[in-house]
Amino acid sequence: MSGRGDGGLAQRLVAVDWQEVSDGLNYSGCAVIPQLLMPQDCQALAALYAQPEVFRSRIVMQRHGFGNGEYQYFGYPLPDLVQGLRTSVYPHLAPMANRWYEQMGLQPRFPAEHADFVARCHAAGQQRPTPLLVQYEAGDYNCLHQDLYGEHVFPLQMVVLLAQPGQDFTGGELVLTEQRPRMQSRVEVLALRQGDAAVFAVQQRPVQGSRGSYRVTMRHGVSRIRSGRRHTLGIIFHDAT
Ligand SMILES: O=C(O)CCC(=O)C(=O)O
Ligand SMILES: [Fe+2]
């Protein structure tokens, strides 16, 4: 993971079809980037979970009613690959975020580079890093939620599945719900493979209706892990208070 720098990642990012990601986000509020990380990167990242010095805090989900399982927030400086992913994916998502905000009539506009957006978060007191590693064991789950950590919100986030479904764990699907005004909710289940990244709306997204656009509210969670152990990397682009 570290020896190679992020050369491999840079190459894989060039191969991503960002138009397809944008189309998926506009159509359903989520998109999958297949095989963003190699299996060895996934394993190396999952192995970091056992190194507490890499993290700033550990959350046991059942203590907060968030579900069952645990996660740790990385501390600054982030591991190379996590920092690399956060800064190199952001510039592709910022134009999509800006289009959404324009359609929703919301004010903030997102700068082209992640460093400038993070500087905005830090100036507002959101200074703690939010990228995280999640670890679930059999029986664990993650309740539907939104990852909001203060006034500044980047409206898209990413999850990378580090474990191999069927091999390392069964069950444990990433689930997204979309709450539409005066309508019943819609769900999307993302069957990720190891190394796949899911990009999805943090909180709200615009939907084009016959009479202009309206906002829907999104939440995400993880269904119960039936067996084994599941690790994911979460990349949230805003920092926390
Ligand atoms: O484990 C997952 O698939 C989702 C974790 C999560 O909620 C997040 O990264 O924000
Ligand atoms: Fe989350």
Domain edges within the chain: 7-236
Going by alpha carbons, the residue nearest to atom 6 of ligand 1 is: 234
pLDDT over 90 percentage in the chain:
92
- Residue whose Cα lies nearest atom 10 of ligand 1: it is 234
Which range has the worst mean pLDDT, 25-29, 112-116, 209-213?
Answer: 209-213
Measured by CA distance, the residue closest to atom 1 of ligand 1 is 232
**What's the average model confidence in pLDDT over 180-200?**
96
User: Ramachandran region of residue 117, left (φ > 0), alpha (ψ -120 to 50) or beta?
Assistant: alpha
Decide: 174 in ligand 1 pocket, CB within 6 A.
Answer: yes
Residue with tokens 């501390």: 75
Examine the pLDDT at 2 and tell me if it is beyond 60: no
Q: Which residue has the tokens 């599941």?
A: 230
Centre of ligand 1 to C-alpha 211, Å, is 34
pLDDT bucket at 174, cuts 50 / 70 / 90 = very high
202 neighbors 220 (Cβ within 8 angstroms): no
State whether CATH 2.60.120.620 applies to domain 7-236: yes
Identify the pLDDT of residue 1.
47
> Relative to the CA of 232, which ligand 1 atom is closest?
1
**From atom 9 of ligand 1, which residue's Cα is the shortest distance away?**
234
Do the Cβ atoms of 134 and 147 come closer than 8 Å? no
Mean pLDDT over each residue of the chain, to the nearest integer: 95
Strands of 43-113, DSSP E: 55-60, 67-68, 70-74
Mutate which of 168, 232, 236, 238 to test ligand 1's pocket (most atoms within 8 Å of Cβ)? 232
Cβ 142 under 6 angstroms from ligand 1: yes
- Report residue 66 as tokens: 């968030």
pTM, two decimal places: 0.96
Give the relative orientation of helices 80-104 and 39-47 as an angle to the nearest 10 degrees: 100
Whole-complex ipTM: 0.99
| pLDDT confidence tier of residue 211, bands split at 50, 70 and 90 | confident
Q: Which atom of ligand 1 is nearest to the CA of 233?
A: 9
Give dist(CA 207, CA 185) in Å, integer. 14
What number does the ligand 1 atom closest to the CA of 235 have? 9
Q: What percent of the chain has pLDDT over 70?
A: 97
pLDDT reading at 163 higher than 60 = yes
Ligand 1 neighbour 222 (Cβ under 6 A):
yes
234 lines ligand 1 (CB under 6 A): yes
